[in-house]
Structure 1
Amino acid sequence: MIWLRKTALVLHLLRGLLTCALLFPWLGVRSRAWHIRRWSRRLLRICGVEVEVVDATGAPHTGAARQGAMVVSNHISWLDIYVIHSWQPVRFVAKSEIRSWPLIGWLCDKTGTIFIERARKRDAHRVLHDITDVMLQGDLVGVFPEGTTTDGTSVLPFHANLMQAPISGGLPVQPVALSYLDKATRQLSIDPAYIGDLTLLQSLNAVLKAAPITARLVIAPPLEAVTSNRRELAEEARQAVAKHVHGARQHAGTVPSNIPPVEPVGTRQTTT
């Protein structure tokens, strides 16, 4: 069974590569976003992951994301990117080494990833300008300010460097909180956690062997960058994320009856 799902993943990856190569050069921004969202949802479904998106009160979140903002989240797994993409495609900031990864690096590049050479201080300044510019143009930029992954039971301090971009542009920060739950019991699941010495293949195997998982994404109220202190903004964002990660833990034993999963991947978005 696991080999069938791995085969499906490989075929799905190839489909993504063909879509980027053959369709993306001819598509507009909204059409690209629709394809990214649909591809991400199908990947999660192959992995046995269902996504539910709620607001800060726990009610289903149905509104569109605010454009021209920095999306910040806690970081647990390689799945995080696709969970967020299934809600709203964003342009993630990633280390430059990923660009050289076979196939995956090319796919990330074509879906708008902003790469940063972390060993070069000058590159951080370039990336800050790039992030500010694309947000001012209406794009969402996604970052994982913890700088590493955790098992999802806590939120590490947020690095503040990239927080200068929303401050410079006078743009909001959108905190989102991620939790992975056992779909049946609603208890926290650490199966998706990509931590320690795990290889990507080992992490993938753990996800594919796990019981069905619910990825719970909480969309917290946006933060206005009214402070000029990026560390203060980073801490405010961390507290917002941590509050809702801890809230997921407190309510993990309760199965909500009114939260539908993310719409089926075959449903085309009709808004313009």
Structure 2
Amino acid sequence: MSPWAVASPCTPVCATHAVPLVSRAERSRRYAALAAALAGGAAAGPRLADPRIMRLRARAVLRALGLRLETSTPELSVPRGPGGPGTLIVADHISWLDVIAVLAVEPATPLAKREVAEWPFFGTLARRAGAEFIDRDGLRTLPHTVGRLAATLRAGRSVLVFPQGTTWCTEAGGGFRRATFQAAIDAGAPVRPVTITYAQHGAPSTVAAFLGEEDFASCLHRVIGADGLTVRVTAHPRLEPAGDRRALAAEAHAAICGSRPPVHV
């Protein structure tokens, strides 16, 4: 079985509203605002890969959905000087919103499962933003994917990966797969651990989680109806690409999840 063929026991039952939904009128307004934000991204065409435009469009999508963005830092990449490598940004994985939240802080090349490329609107925008796609069931393609990520990092561009391999209902849901950390070691690129959390009116929330066999439209509808939803992007000190990928993955997991062991291994 591929290291990326991860099965999470979390299901859509885990994703619940912590407070009452917004009104039907507000939901309609958000859908209209989202359509406008996505149209703006589509209109940008190839320019969507430009970091400034990518950040602006990602923030527009979050606003349209009614999400408040909080971040501990204005940027996630590690300055390395002219000609230096990019940063491997690694984060826990709860929702499809994770990618948008990180890009709203620091534009990067995201690594996404191949199914995302087929999602309506979002798949097209992901391709135009320069996303890399991975077949999580294809072990033979994994070395090639790691090689592409290393090349991107050597070129000075940052890469965003989710080493838990799939989405979970909390940030400590699953252990880290190690393959993508090899790309940082090969490129001599620093690693930036990032914790992504969601809250409603300040209380931890699972409402944004995208789990199990749930379809994208159902998750989107739940997010559209969420009141007082905040996504927080917390950056931790950088890790240097020293040692082996097992140790590097363990360091990143400890930074992101603290002393809590994975809820599911």
- Paired letter, 2:68: E
- Give the distance between the partners of 2:165 and 2:87, measured in 1 at CA: 19
Give the counterpart letter for 1:10 in structure 2: A
Give per-residue Cα distances to partners, 1:51-110, cap 9 Å, x unaligned. 1111xxxxxx24562151110000111111111011001101122233234433222111
Q: Does 1:5 align with 2:21?
A: no
Deviation at 1:154, TM superposition (A): 2.3
**Contact 2:89–2:158 (CA<8 Å) still a contact in 1?**
yes
**2:179 equivalent to 1:158:** no
- Indicate whether 1:16 and 2:41 are aligned: yes
8 Å CA contact 1:77, 1:192 repeated in 2: yes
Could you tell me whether the CA contact under 8 Å between 1:178 and 1:245 is conserved in 2?
no
2:158 aligned with 1:146: no
Cα distance change of structure 1 residues 33 and 123 upon mapping to structure 2, 3 Å threshold: same
Q: Distance in 2 between matches of 1:73 and 1:109?
A: 21
Q: CA deviation at 1:244?
A: 9.3
Give yes or no for contact 2:171–2:196 (8 Å, CA) kept in 1: no
Q: Is the 8 A contact 1:155 1:238 kept in 2?
A: no
Amino acid in the other structure paired with 1:107: L
Q: What residue number does 1:175 align with?
A: 193
Change (3 A) 1:48 1:102: closer
Shift of the 209–101 alpha-carbon distance from structure 1 to 2, 3 Å rule, reads closer
| 1-structure distance, mates of 2:103, 2:89 | 11
C-alpha separation in 2, matches of 1:11 and 1:152: 31
Q: Matched residue pairs, number? A: 230
The CA deviation string for residues 230-261 of structure 1, in whole angstroms up to 9 with x for no partner, is 12211111111002999xxxxxxxxxxxxxxx
**What is the match of residue 222 of structure 1?**
238
1:102 & 1:131 partners in 2: Cα distance?
25
Matched, 1:107 2:125: yes
Q: Find the residue that maps to 2:208 and give its secondary structure.
A: coil
C-alpha spacing 1:16/1:206, structure 2 compared with 1 (3 Å): same
Distance 1:63 1:103 in 2: 27
Q: TM-score, normalised by structure 2?
A: 0.80
Q: Among the aligned pairs, what percent are the same residue? A: 30
> Which residue identity does 2:176 align to in structure 1?
F
- Provide the rounded CA distance (Å) in 2 between the counterparts of 1:166 and 1:98: 24
Q: 1:92 to 1:149 in 2, by over 3 A?
A: same
1:192 Cα deviation from its structure 2 partner: 0.8
- Letter in structure 1 aligned against 2:246: R
SS of the equivalent of 1:177 reads strand
TM-score of the pair, normalised by structure 1: 0.78
Structure 1 residue matching 2:204: 3-state secondary structure? coil
Identify which of 54, 65, 80 aligns with 2:77.
65
Aligned mates of 1:245, 1:143 — CA distance in 2: 21
Q: CA–CA distance in 1 between the matches of 2:29 and 2:75?
A: 36
Q: How do residues 16-165 of structure 1 correspond to structure 2 at under 5 angstroms?
A: 16-20=41-45, 23=47, 32-54=50-72, 61-62=73-74, 65-66=77-78, 68-152=86-170, 154-165=172-183
Given the superposition, is the C-alpha separation of residues 126 and 39 from structure 1 closer, same or farther in structure 2, using an over 3 Å criterion?
same
Q: 1:65 corresponds to which letter in structure 2?
A: S
Partner of residue 262, structure 1: none
* Structure 2 counterpart SS, 1:124: helix
* Residue segments in structure 2 that go unaligned for 5+ positions in a row: 1-24, 80-85
Residue of structure 1 aligned with 2:215, choices 193, 199, 223 = 199
Task: Tell me how large the CA RMSD over aligned residues is.
Answer: 2.1
- In structure 2, what is the Cα distance between the partners aligned to 1:62 and 1:19? 24
